[in-house]
Structures are given as C-alpha cells and as structure tokens.
Amino acid sequence: MSEKIVSQEPVIETLDHHEIDQIMSQYDKEYGYRKLTGFFHYLIAGIAIVFSIFQIGSSWFSTMPAQLLRAIHLVFVLVLAFLLYPATRSMSRKKMHWSDVVLGALSAAVVGYIVVNYQALILRAGDYTSLDVIVGICGIILVLEACRRVVGVPFLVLIGVFLLYAYFGPYMPGFLNHRGYSIERIVTHIFYTTEGILGIPLGVCATFIFLFILFGAFLEKTGIGKFFIDLANAVAGFAAGGPAKVAVLISALEGTVSGSSISNTVGSGSFTIPMMKSLGYKPEFSAAVEAAASTGGQIMPPIMGAAAFLMAESLGMPYIELAKAAVIPALLYFVGVWIMVHLEAKKLGLKGMSRDQLPSLWKVLKEQGHLFLPLVAIIYFLAEGTTPMHAALYGIGFSIIASMLRKNTRMTFRDFMDALEMGGRNIIAVAVACAAVGIIIGVTTLTGLGLKMASGLISLSGGIKILTLFFTMIASLIMGMGLPTTATYLITATITAPAIVQLGVPVLAAHMFVFYFGIVADITPPVALAAYAGAAIAKSNPFKTGITATKLAIAGFIIPYIFCYNPALLLVDTTPWQVVQIIVTSLIGMIGIGAAMENYLVTKTNLWERILLFVSGLMLVDPSLITDIIGLAIIGGVWFYQLRTAKRVREESLAA
C-alpha cells in the first residue's frame, strides 16, 4: 500500500486588512482617520482631489506669492484634518460629528481671512487691527487643535511651553531671560508673518513635500509595491535567512516612495515577519529586523523622508546634493542591518526559502521592470538640475506613462482619481506638523532662543565636541519619541544644531546628525513605535523587540558621530579615489561591528574577539588611511584566527 506524502512546508499566517488596520490605529496617530461612507465620503474625497489639482497647478505655473500659496494650502489641510480626524479616540470613525464640520468651516473662514485680505495685511504689517488679532488667536487655536488630533498631545504640550516662554520671558532664569512680548505681538508674528505658521516648513510642505507624497500615491497605484516584494524575494529569498534579507531589501526600496517608518513596518511586515518566524527566527528578532529596516527608509536616497526636503531648504542647497551626501551613510545603515541578519542566520543555521517558492528574477524584471521608469526619471531630472517641484511633476507623469506599458499595471480613471485623493489625505499629518512647528520657530526667532540654547548647550558640555554631540543625540531621541520626524528635525535643527556648528562641525554634518537621531527614535525604547508595531505583528515582547531593533540599527547610532568628525563620509571635500576607499573600508567596517554585535563571524566569538572586531569596525568606518590600515589588520587577524579555529574543531570532530 502506498503512503500518502504530506507536505512539510511551513504554514505562513499573514495578517488580514482588519488586523493591519488595528495595529496601524494603535501605533500610528496619523492613521486614526475616519472611514466614512455616503455624502461625507464623497465630500472629503472631492476636497482632497481639488487640493491635489490645486497643488499641481500652482507648482507647474509657480506664479502665486509664497505667503498666499501657504495660506491656501493650510486652508485645505485644516478642513481635511477636522473632517477626517475625530476629536477623541473613543469617537466613532464611521460617523461625522457636527462639531467637526463647524471647525472645518471655521478653519476655512479664519485662514481664508489671510487669503482674502492678503494685500491689506501686507500694507498694514506692524499696525494690525483688533480684528486681525482676534482672527490670529482663532487661527493659532485651530492649528493647535489639529495638531492635538493628528500629531498628538506631547507635541501640543511642547508648543504650549514655547508660547508661555514668549510671554513670560522676563521671569525666565539665566540665559533664557528676555524682555517678554505682548499677546498681540506674539499672535501677529506667529500667524501673519513668514517666520511663524506660514514659515519655511509649511512652504516646503506646500511645494516639494506635497508633490513627492503625490508621486508616491501614483507609484502605489501602478503596483510598484508588489514589484518591490517580488524583486526582493527573487534576489534574496533563497539565501541564508532569506525572508529577513527580503525584509531589508523591501524596506530600502519602499523607502524611496514612503516616509513613514510605522506604515513601512506594518505594510511589508504583515508578510515578512510571519515568513521569518516560519523559518526559525525568534519573534523579537523578526519584528526588529522589519522595524529597523523600515525606519531606515527615511534616510534612503533618492527620495528620503519629508524632513530631508526641509533640510535642503534650510541649508539652501539643491536637494540632489543632499541626496548624494546621504548615499554612503544610508548604504552603511542597510548593509549593517543586512550583515547582522546574515550572521544571525549563520549562527542559528537558518536556511532560505526553496527556489520553487520564489519568483524568477528575469520574469519579475520582464513583467514589472518598467515600473522603475518613474524612479529613474526623477533621479535623472534632479541630477540635471531640475527643481524638486518640477522633477516630482515629471515623476508623476512618468508613473502614469509607465503604468500604461503593460495591461496588468495600467491605471484606470478610478486609479487616477484615487491617487489624487490619497495625495490630499497623506499630506495632512506632515502639513499639520509643519504648521505647528512654525509656532515654535516663530517663538525662537522672536526671542532669539536658538542662539541662547546653542550657547547654553556649549556651556553645559564645557565646549567638548563629543559631549555636545551626545547631549544633542539625547535631545533628538527624546523629542523623536513623541514627535514626527519632521517636527523633531526642525526643532533640533533650530535649537541644538547651531551649537554643533559653533564647535567646527560643517553645517551639513550637524543637520544630518539631528536628522538621523530623530529617525532612529522610532526604534529606540522606551517609546519605539515602529518596533512596537512590528511586535504586534510578531506577537513578541515590545520592549525586547525595541532593544533588538536598536542593536540591529547600530550603524544609525555610530555613523552620525563619524561624519561629524570626518565629513568625508558625506562626500564633503573628497576625490573619486577617496570615495571608493570610503565605501570599501566602511563596508568591511560594518562587518566587524555586525560580528561584534551578533557574537559571530566565522564561528562564535569570545569577549576579546568581540572587542577587537567592534573597535576595528569603528576604525574602518572612519574615513582615514591610518585607521583603515589598523582596522583591516585587526579584522583580518580575527577572521584568519577564527578560520583556523573552525577548521581545527571540524578536524577534531571528524577524528572523534
């Protein structure tokens, strides 16, 4: 009698849409919007679509005064924020409350007051009327309420502290003391000038950031997400620890179109985390890999997170130059995660997926490779010196053209309208954060707080560079735990980055330093939202997951210190030969650091080997010829010693 053969393939239980929605709602404040039907669904969709069309038109023709454009942008944002985000979590997300309709209408009237009276407000700047002040107070309150709903209470509290500081300046101690300002002066400076709510952050949001978010929405409708998944599986799924490497690749690719570490974690993690667990990875490690890789998506050129566009504008440099400077650090970050995943797989003896379970690389490229066209186009236009606004517009056009090249990716009219609606919705959280952080920047410029804080920070650290960097890192991590990356970057760039610059660090390196730590805050306990979202999928211990994610992302904690001491890592004042040297030695250095963290190179390491590997890895990441030679010698020595040890163990095992 023949026996029935039962398949032993592991069962992979992926999450359904309802489970994904629950996790996103729990860990991502921005995701808590209403899911409506009927009249209000179509009303909101219509407003979002008109919003996107207005942004495309204003960007293409570029004739509108900046302050007027920002005010109209803010009208759309506040109206959508109040219609989409309920006042409390306990309120139904399936019904519209009358008070939110009133607040939406009031937002249109209050901010619309700037639009209607634009010329008159300019003419009477410095001599505002009582009505101007009342409208300004209402406008600030509406922005604060939208901030509470969309971004969260911690950010609201921080803004409140700054507003109180502006008023109670004469009572502040030490270097924080200033003469204080009247309510009228504070309100008009914050609401009507381009140094407050309508400042540079909202200006960048209304131009570059919106269009790149809209570009991402159009790319998503082409099916590029599935292409990234299939491509990553084809390239790395069969390797040791395949699913974990797939997670790293997908997150790096998705980072080119999405700036949210939590949505990246949940989006790709809903299937990569179960795959990792099915092949033998521990739940904490599986969730941590996805969280660490997804968080790195915001530092991945060519399209980095929203804060990168704000940085380029703040520094007055072309975005493409910023993206070039970020290439090597981003590469080191992802290689670092990849190496640790590989060493963990080797240490545990984990295999990849069988090739018959995976798509063919040639077939994936043949059937879906055309979806790379928009990304290639946008890189080309940025490299040619096209403004980011127009590059994003061209990218949107190429995404539509690319989708039409094959029937299975072709966008319909409904897809086109959905992408416009998605762009209008997806900008809300970033725009509200930019408007709200404008209040902080307004207070800072009004009181001179930036220079005061920089002097205070240098005084606290005694002018010692490493201590100043450490204090800045702690400040960035703490603020990043409760604030979105855009807000964290803008605050730290205004208050703490000047202190680093005063100690001789190039301004680009100083801003990249605070940018990095604002991002890795998403995986740094005790509040590591991206790691906790991954833990919810993996059903693992959230705190242990955060610790593991921090270990996997060790490059994100080391590299910023390196480029502050040696800006060559950011391609500042380098030659082509130096670039090659930096890339090669830094990658080898990440192997040393990864082996030290994972306690494994060729075989398990002892304490002294781990110390030597970590120190030599740091030497190699630092772009200096002397440190490179020493680092290579040490890593080579440890590697050779471990090879001989492993060979001797095998021979003794065979002899026994």
Assigned token pair, 131: 């009505």
Beta-carbon contacts of residue 206 (< 8 Å; ≥ 6 apart): 55, 69, 70, 73, 431
Give the whole-angstrom CA distance, residue 628 versus residue 621: 8
Beta-carbon contacts of residue 570 (< 8 Å; ≥ 6 apart): 325, 326, 328, 329, 506, 508, 509, 512, 563
Closest CA to 598 of 386, 345, 265: 345
The per-residue pLDDT for 22 is: 65
How many H-runs (helices) and E-runs (strands) does the chain carry?
32, 0
Note whether 247 and 508 are within 8 A (CB): no
Paired residues of 604 in beta bridges? 600
How confident is the model over 519-550, as pLDDT tens digits?
Answer: 888 888 877 888 888 888 888 888 899 999 99
Note whether 521 and 477 are within 8 A (CB): yes
The per-residue pLDDT for 140 is: 97
Closest CA to 258 of 300, 286, 319: 300
Give the whole-angstrom CA distance, residue 77 versus residue 70: 10
3-state secondary structure 343-374: HHHHHHCCCCCCHHHCCCHHHHHHHHHHHHHH
Assigned token pair, 112: 């619309």
Residue type, 396: I
Assigned token pair, 3: 């026996």
How confident is the model over 51-87, as pLDDT tens digits?
Answer: 999 999 998 887 789 899 999 999 999 999 999 999 8
Assigned token pair, 358: 């995976």
Note whether 579 and 571 are within 8 A (CB): yes
The per-residue pLDDT for 363 is: 87
Closest CA to 321 of 578, 570, 580: 570
Assigned token pair, 543: 């705190």
Assigned token pair, 428: 């809300």
Give the whole-angstrom CA distance, residue 328 versus residue 506: 17
Low-confidence ranges of the chain (pLDDT < 50): 1-11
Alpha-carbon distances, residue 185 vs 140, 180, 209, 437 (angstroms): 13, 10, 30, 18
Note whether 215 and 374 are within 8 A (CB): yes
The per-residue pLDDT for 16 is: 59
Alpha-carbon distances, residue 639 vs 447, 621, 632 (angstroms): 57, 18, 10
